[in-house]
A and B are shown apart, each in its own frame.
Chain A
C-alpha cells in the first residue's frame, strides 16, 4: 500500500528525515516510536503533504501513485488521513458542517453521491457512539474551546467518518488520561480492517497495550534504526531510548 524509499526531508533548510525506508501493507498497524526530536511528526506531516516541509530526496509510492507529486487535498481524497497532534481551531464552523464538507469531497472523488444533511447526520450518530461523544459535540465549532482529550477524540471521530485507507496518527495518545486513552484505542481497534492500514506515531508504549501493532519501528535522528514485532515496544519501554542511542553510537563511525 505504502512504500517509502530513501526519504529525506526537512524544514527551513534543516534536514530532519535522513533516509527513511518503510513498507506498509493493507491490514497492518505500524508503530513508529522514538524520542522527542527524532523526526516522528515530520514523517507524519511529510506524508500528509504539509507545505512547510521540503522533500530533498527519496520517493513515496501510495497505491501505485507518486504520493509526493500530489497536493495535500488529493492525498486526503485518495484515502490518507492524518490525525493531528495539535488540531487547529476553526471558529464559527460547526463540526458537522466541516465533516460534511470533508465527507462529500472524499465521496465525490470515490464516485459516490454526496450525502444530504439527513443522511449525513444518520451516519454521524453511529460514529459518535464509537468515540463516546455527546451529540452536542457536532454543533460546536471545530476544536474551539475543546479540551485536549476532546480534540483527540474529535480526530478519531473524523477518522471514523472519513474511513481512510491509510491513517497516520500523530501522537494521538499524548496528553490523554487513561479513560480517554481507552476510548481512543477502542475506536482505533474498531476501525482496523483487512483493507486499510495505520501508522501510529508515538513516544510511549502505553497505547500499544490497547492497540496491538504488527510492526514496531524506532526512529532515531531521522532514521529508522530498529524494526521488529510488538516485543520491540516492550523492550523500549523497559530499557528507555538511551539504549537505542548507545547502540546507534556504537555502530556508527563518529563523524
Chain B
C-alpha cells in the first residue's frame, strides 16, 4: 500500500476522542472493594425490597465462587492485565440535595451541562422530537425525559431503581429471566452490584410513538459501571430503543459490565440499537474501558421479533455477544454489527442465535474493520435445536483490513439439530485497494474522504438498520460523511 493511502487510513483511524472531559461533580462514592456488605449497602441505599437483596446476594455468592475457582472467562481472543476486583469502586452517584430531584428543574445544573456537552440535552423542549432519554451518570439514572407523555399510553420508561419501587411485580417476574445470574462471570458480578439502568415496559398492542434511549456516562475515576437494562414488550407491541455511551479519557482502565435483557411476547417487536463509544485508550494502548457486556433477548411468544444493531467504535476491549433465544414459533432474530478497532483496541464480538421454536428465522450481518494494531474477532453461534424444525439462518461476516498491522478473525459455530433446517454462512476479508483509492482521488476526493466513503459503503447494510439520528452519529463516529442521505 502506498504511503499516502496509509496516511489517509491513519487519519481516519486516529481521530480524536472528543468526549474525554471530566465533570467536577460531588459524588457519593463507596470505598473500593467488594464483599457481601457492599452488596447489602447498595441494596439499602436504593431501599430495595427483600426479593432484590436476596437475588443480589445469591448472585454475589455465585460470583465469589467463580472468582475463587474458574475466574474470568478466558476463551475470548483478547489479552489484558488481570483485573483486581477489590480495587474497583462499585457505587458512585452524583450527590443529591435532600431527597433527590423530582423534576428536571431540580437536577444539578452541572449534570445537565455535562449531557449538553455530550450532545444529549435533557431539557425536553430542546430534545429532538421523538426521542425520550434516560441519562445514566456513573451508577445512577439522573433524568428521564418524556416520562409523562409515555405514561399516557401506559408505557413505563424509567430508571431501574424507580421500577423496583413502583413496579416490583414486573421486575420480579422478568429480572434474570433471560440472563440468569449464573449465566457468566460478568453477569453474576453485574447482578450482585448493579446500581441502576433503564426499565421499559410496553403494554399489549401499543406501538411506542418515539425512540426510547439510554445514554450512559462514566465519570468518576476508578469506578466500574454496572448497569442493567430490562425491556419487556407485551403482546403485539413495538419499541425501538437506542443506547449511547461515552467516558472520560483516563490512563487507567475502567470496567464496564452491563446486562441487557429483552423480552418480546407474542407478536411483539423490539429493535435495540447501540452506538458504543467508550474511551478506547490512547495510541499506545494506555487506558480505555474494558467492556464486558451480556446482552440477550428472548422471543418468548409466537411471531416475536428482536433486532440488535450495534456500532462498536470505542472501548479498549469489547467482549459482547447480543443474542436472541428464538423460543416462540415463527419468531425472528436479527443481529447487525459494525465493530471498529484502531490503535491497540481489541474486540471479540458477535452473537448467538438459539433456535428453539419451529419456523424460526435469524439473520446475522457482521462487519469488522481493523486499523492500526487493532484486533477484531467475530464469534458467533447458530444453534438449531432438534425440535426447531424448518428453522433458517443466514450469516454474513465481512472483515475489512486497513493497513498491515491489524488482524481480523472469525469463529463461527453452527449446530443444526434437525434435517429440515438450513444455515448459510458467507464470509469475506478484504482490504481497501489502491485502485479504489485512486479512483476516488481521481474524482477529486481527498484521501481521507475516499477512505471514509469506502468504509461507509462497507457498513451500509448495518447503518440502514439504525434509526436516522443514530445513523448520522454512527457515520460521524467512523469519520465519514453520510452516505445514503440522497437517492
Contact = CB atoms under 8 A, between A and B. Distances in A.
Interface in B446-477: 446-447, 449, 453-454, 456-461
A73 B447 contact: yes
Interface stretch (B145-153, B290-298, B314-322, B434-442): B434-442
Interface in A198-230: none
B51 to A, nearest CB: 49
A51 B445 contact: no
A109 to B, nearest CB: 7
Contacts of A97: 453, 483-487
A90 B446 contact: no
A87 B435 CA distance: 9
A97 B483 CA distance: 6
B481 A101 contact: yes
Q: Which of B4, B434, B481, B486: most chain A Cβ within 10 A?
A: B486
A128 B94 CA distance: 59
19 contacts: A48-B438, A49-B441, A51-B434, A72-B442, A75-B442, A76-B443, A84-B442, A90-B436, A90-B440, A92-B458, A92-B460, A92-B483, A93-B483, A94-B487, A105-B445, A117-B485, A138-B487, A141-B457, A158-B443
A40 interface: no
A152 interface: no
Given A51-B4, A139-B487, A102 B461 contact: no
Contacts of B440: 90, 98
Contacts of A158: 443
A245 interface: no
B483 A72 contact: no
Given A73-B447, A91-B457, A92-B458, A84 B439 contact: yes
Q: Which of A48, A76, A92, A105: most chain B Cβ within 10 A?
A: A92
Contact of A73 (B433, B435, B446): B446
A76 B457 contact: no
Q: Which of B445, B446, B449: most chain A Cβ within 10 A?
A: B445
A241 interface: no
B445 A92 contact: no
A153 interface: no
A93 B456 contact: yes
Interface of B: 2, 4-5, 433-436, 438-447, 449, 453-454, 456-461, 481, 483-487
A162 B445 CA distance: 12
Contacts of A51: 2, 4-5, 434, 438
Q: Which of A77, A87, A109: most chain B Cβ within 10 A?
A: A77
A83 to B, nearest CB: 10
Contacts of A96: 486-487
B436 A117 contact: no
A73 B486 contact: no
A75 B444 CA distance: 8
Main secondary structure of the interface of A (DSSP, over half): helix
A122 to B, nearest CB: 12
Interface string A63-76: 00000000111011
B237 to A, nearest CB: 33
A112 interface: no
A156 interface: no
A82 interface: yes
Contact of A101 (B2, B433, B453, B487): B453
Given A72-B442, A92-B458, 7 more contacts: A50-B438, A71-B441, A76-B442, A94-B484, A101-B443, A117-B485, A138-B487
Contacts of B481: 101
Contacts of A95: 487
Contacts of A49: 441-442
Top 8 nearest A-B pairs by Cβ distance?
A: A92-B457, A93-B457, A96-B487, A105-B444, A92-B460, A102-B443, A117-B486, A76-B444
Nearest to B437: A51
Q: Which of A84, A93, A141: most chain B Cβ within 10 A?
A: A93
Q: Which of B458, B461, B487: most chain A Cβ within 10 A?
A: B487
A121 B446 contact: no
Nearest to A73: B441
A93 B454 contact: yes
A101 B449 contact: yes
A39 B486 CA distance: 40
Contacts of B487: 94-97, 117, 121, 138-139
A121 B444 contact: no
B28 to A, nearest CB: 48
A90 B447 contact: no
A88 B443 contact: no
Contacts of A98: 440, 443, 453
Nearest to B458: A92
A250 interface: no
B457 to A, nearest CB: 3
A30 interface: no
B369 to A, nearest CB: 13
A109 B444 contact: yes
A90 B444 contact: no
A52 interface: yes
A49 to B, nearest CB: 8
Nearest to A80: B442
A52 B434 contact: yes
A106 interface: yes
Contacts of A77: 444
Given A92-B456, A117-B485, A82 B442 contact: yes
Nearest to B3: A51
Given A98-B453, A100-B486, A117-B486, A92 B461 contact: yes
Contacts of A106: 444
Nearest to B5: A51
Contacts of A90: 436, 439-440, 453-454, 457
